[in-house]
Structure 1
Amino acid sequence: MPAHVLILGGTTEARRLADDLAARPGVRVTTSLAGRVARPGAVAGEVRIGGFGGAQGLADWLRTHDVDALVDATHPFAETITANAARAAAATGVPAVVLRRPGWRRAPGDQWYDVPSLAGAAEALPGLGRRVFLSTGRLGLAAFAHLADLHFVVRSVDPPGPPLPPDTELVLARGPFTVADETRLLRAHRIEVLVTKDSGGEATAAKLTAARDLGLPVVVVRRPPLPRGVTAVPDAAGVLHRLGLGPA
C-alpha cells in the first residue's frame, strides 16, 4: 500500500481523489497546485503551490519527500506537466498513474467544428460568427488577439493578462454552471459561436447543452496526445485499482 501519494492536481477529479486518499489510515497525500488560481478551493491532505522546475525538479522532489506513488490528475491540456511527470516517474521508478476524465461526445443537434489547437480555433472563427463566447481559460488568449473584428466574451475566475483581443468583455465567475446559467449568459451577450477546449466531464458540459439548445456552432479544441507509452484511467476508481487500494 502506498504510504505517500503525490497528486498533481487542479481538477475536480484530483480534489475528489485527495478526499478519498486522505481518509484512509496510513496514507499520506500531498496535492501540488500550479498556483494559477488566486483562491483555489479547499483540498484534503497536504498542499504545495508552484512548479517543480521541470522533470528533473519533480524527480528530485519525489526522492526527497519519499513519494511512493505519483498521480497526474492535471487538466487534459496540461501537456508539459504530463510529459514532465512521465519522465520523472521513469527516472525515479516511482509508480505513476494518469487520471483523465473522458472527452466529450457529440449529441444529436450538436454543430461542432473540431480543431487541433487554439490557433486553429482562431482561424475558424471569422466564418462562424462575430460575437464569441471564448471559454478556453484565461491562458492562451493571445491566440485570438489579432481578431479585431470580433467581439469576445471571456469568462475567468481571475482576470487574464495581456495580450487580449481588442474587443473583449470580461466576466469574472467561478463554476460550476447549470444549463440555465449558460443559456442566460449566451442570450444576454447575444453569442453567435462558442469556443471551448475538450475538457470533458460534467462540471463544464452545461455550456455545450445550452449551445445545442440555442442552435449555436461550437469550435472544439481537441486534446493533445499523451506521451508515448503513457495510458490514462478515466476515474478515481481506476487510480485506486492501479495503486492497489480497494474501496474505502
Structure 2
Amino acid sequence: MSGAGGARVVLVLGGTSDGRALAALLHPLPGIHVVSSLAGRTSAPVLPVGETRVGGFGGVRGLVGWLRERAPAAVVDATHPFAARISAHAVAACAEAGVPLLRLQRPGWTAVPGDRWHRVDSADEAARVLPALARRVFLTTGRLETAPYAHLDDLWFLLRSVEPPTGELPRACEVLLARGPFTVGDEIALLRDRRIDAIVTKDSGGALTAAKLTAARELGLPVVLIRRPEVTAPERVTDAAAAARWVEGLAVGA
C-alpha cells in the first residue's frame, strides 16, 4: 500500500532525536511518505513531522503483518541504542517480509583524558561496583531500570528521568523529573548541590545528554557507563543524513 498520492512508504522506528531528524529530512522529499513509529513509553513524547503511530506492533508477527499490509519501501530502525528487543524484531520481521532494513545508530561516547569511566555490561554489574566508588550517586539510566539498585541501602541516589519511575526504588532516593538537553553549567551545579560522588549512565551517545560526562570530568567524578547491547543489522549508518541518502538511493533504484 502506498502513502498519500501514491508515495512510497518508509517506516522509521523512532522515539529518538535521530528518528525525528530523519523524519524531518524525509518528509519534504517527493515520492516518499514517512511513517514514524513510537513505542509509547512516555505520555507526552516529542512528535516527529509526518504520519505517526504510537504503540508496539505485537512482536515479530505483528510487525510482519504491518509490513505486508502497508508494503513499505524500507524500514529504518532509529530506536534507542538500548532498545535491543524492537531492533531484533525489526531484523527478523524485515527478513521474513523481504523489506530492506537500515539501522541508524549514533556512535557511543569516547573517553578523553581526565575521564574516570568504569565500563560495565549491565545494571546489575553497575550496582555491584558502586559501593566501592561512592556514597551519593546520580542515576540517569531511565525510569524502568531502578530495581538493581534498590538493595543498596548504604547509598543515596538522585534519579533523573522524564517521567516518574515505575520499578522498585532505593530506600534513600530523590526523583528529579526533567527532559534534556542539559548544559554543562547546570550539570555541575546539580552535582555540587546534591554532593554527588559518582554517576551511573548508559552509553547512549549523542550530544543531548553528554553534558553530565563533561561535568563529571571537570569535577573529577567517576562514571559507571553501561555498555550497549549488540544489535545485528544488514546495513548501518551513524547519522540521519546518511540514512536519508540511503532511502533516496532506494527510491532512485526503484
Give yes or no for TM over 0.5. yes
Supply the distance in 2 between the matched residues of 1:85 and 1:133 (Cα, whole angstroms): 33
Tell me, yes or no, if structure 1 residue 144 matches structure 2 residue 183. Answer: no
Name the structure 1 match of 2:125: 120
Q: 2:249, 2:168 → 1: CA distance?
A: 46
Matched, 1:240 2:244: yes
Cα deviation per residue 1:163-200 (whole Å; 9 max; x = unaligned)?
A: 11111100011111010111111111110000010000
CA shift, 1:42, in A, is 2.7
Instruction: Give a deviation string over 1:26-65, Cα, whole Å, max 9, x none.
Output: 2111111111111111310011111111111111111111
- In structure 1, the residue matched to 2:3 is none
1:237 and 1:27 map into 2 onto residues whose CA distance is 15
**Could you tell me which of 130, 146, 163 is aligned with 2:135?**
130
Task: Please report how far the alpha carbon of residue 17 of structure 1 lies from its aligned counterpart in structure 2 after TM superposition.
Answer: 0.4
Q: Deviations over 1:215-244 (max 9, x none)?
A: 0000000001113x5442101122123223
CA–CA distance in structure 1, aligned partners of residues 145 and 234 of structure 2: 25
**Counterparts in 2 of 1:88-237, with a 5 A limit?**
88-227=93-232, 230-237=234-241
User: Residues 220 and 238 of structure 1: is their aligned pair in 2 closer, same or farther, counting only changes over 3 Å?
Assistant: same
1:36 maps to which residue?
41
1:14 maps to amino acid: G
Equivalent residue of 1:243, what SS?
helix
For 2:234 and 2:200, the matched residues in 1 are separated by 28
- Determine what percentage of the aligned residue pairs are the same residue: 55
Helix, strand or coil at the partner of 2:248: coil
Q: TM-score under structure 1 normalisation?
A: 0.95
> In the alignment, is residue 7 of structure 1 matched against residue 1 of structure 2?
no
Aligned-pair CA distance for 1:120: 0.7
Match of 1:55 in 2: 60
Matches of 2:117 and 2:235, distance apart in 1: 26
Do residues 82 (structure 1) and 87 (structure 2) align?
yes
Matches of 2:10 and 2:117, distance apart in 1:
39
Runs of 4 or more above 6 Å deviation:
none
What is the rounded CA distance, in whole Å, between the counterparts of 1:90 and 1:172 in structure 2? 39
Read off the aligned partner of 2:147 and give its amino acid letter: A
**Count of residues in Structure 1 that have an aligned counterpart in Structure 2:** 244
Structure 1: runs of 5+ lacking an equivalent: none
Give the whole-Å Cα distance in 1 for the aligned partners of 2:32 and 2:234.
25
Letter in 1 for 2:31: G
Change (3 A) 1:140 1:230: farther
The answer for unaligned runs of 5 or more in structure 2 is: 1-6
RMSD over aligned Cα, in angstroms? 1.3
